C-alpha cells in the first residue's frame, strides 16, 4: 500500500477515515476457525442466548483487528502499525455494524511515530472498544 500519511503531513487533531463494517455470523465463524477460538458464545446462538446475549457475539480480537485495519488504511499498511491497546467495553452482536475511528494525539518526528486515540462503536452508539490507543510508524514525507 502507498503511504497515505506522513510525519510532516499530519497534525494533532487530524482524524483518520472512519471504517464501518457489518460483521456477519459467517465472518465470526470464519474468524473462529482461523483463530482457533471456538468459544460457543461466538458460534452457538442458543448458547449465547442462554448466557444473556441476543445472539452470538464477535470475538473482541476480531473487532480489534477491524480497528487495526482502519489505522493501517490511514497509515499506509499493516506494517506501519506499531501498537494498539483497547478495552472491550460492550459486545458486538452478529449482524451489527462496527464503526472504527481515530484521532491523532501526538506526532514525534524524532522517533518517527504518531500516536492516536482510537475507538469503535456499534450502530446503536454503544462503545464496543474504548480507552483505545494506537501508535504508527510513518515516513517523514
Partner 1 sequence: MPTLDCEETPSHMPDRSHVGRTYRADGQVIDGERAARFAEAIAGDDGLIEPGVVPPTYAAVYCLSPTLAQLFGDAELGIGLAGLVHAEQEFSFHQPVRAGDVIDASVRIASVAERRGRVFLGVELEATRAGRPVCSGRALFVAAGGAP
Query: Is residue 30 within the footprint of partner 1 (CB under 8 A)?
Result: yes
- Cα–Cα distance for residue pair 137/7, rounded to 1 Å: 9
Of 8-16, 17-25, 107-115, 118-126, which segment contacts partner 1 by CB under 8 A?
17-25
Site string for partner 1, 66-105 (x = CB under 8 A): x-xx--xx---xxx-xxxxxxxx-----------------
Query: Is residue 57 within the footprint of partner 1 (CB under 8 A)?
Result: no
Give the three-class secondary structure for 45: helix
Contact 135, 113 (CB under 8 A): yes
**Residue 7 pairs with which residues in a beta bridge?**
none
Strand ranges of the sheet holding 127-137, from the earlier edge strand across to the other edge: 19-22, 97-108, 113-122, 127-137
User: Which stretches of the chain bind partner 1, using CB under 8 A?
Assistant: 1, 21-24, 27, 30-31, 33-37, 39, 60-62, 64-66, 68-69, 72-73, 77-79, 81-88, 131
Amino acid at each position: 500500500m502507498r503511504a497515505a500519511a506522513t510525519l510532516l503531513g499530519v497534525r494533532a487533531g487530524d482524524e483518520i477515515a472512519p471504517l464501518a463494517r457489518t460483521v456477519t455470523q459467517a465472518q465470526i465463524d470464519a474468524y473462529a476457525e482461523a483463530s482457533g477460538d471456538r468459544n460457543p458464545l461466538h458460534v452457538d446462538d442458543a448458547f449465547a442466548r442462554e448466557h444473556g446475549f441476543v445472539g452470538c457475539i464477535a470475538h473482541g480480537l476480531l473487532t480489534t483487528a477491524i480497528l487495526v485495519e482502519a489505522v493501517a488504511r490511514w497509515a499506509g499498511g499493516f506494517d506501519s502499525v506499531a501498537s494498539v491497546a483497547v478495552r472491550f467495553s460492550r459486545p458486538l452482536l452478529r449482524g451489527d455494524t462496527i464503526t472504527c475511528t481515530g484521532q491523532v494525539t501526538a506526532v514525534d518526528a524524532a522517533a518517527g511515530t504518531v500516536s492516536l486515540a482510537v475507538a469503535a462503536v456499534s450502530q446503536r452508539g454503544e462503545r464496543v472498544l474504548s480507552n483505545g490507543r494506537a501508535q504508527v510508524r510513518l515516513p517523514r514525507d
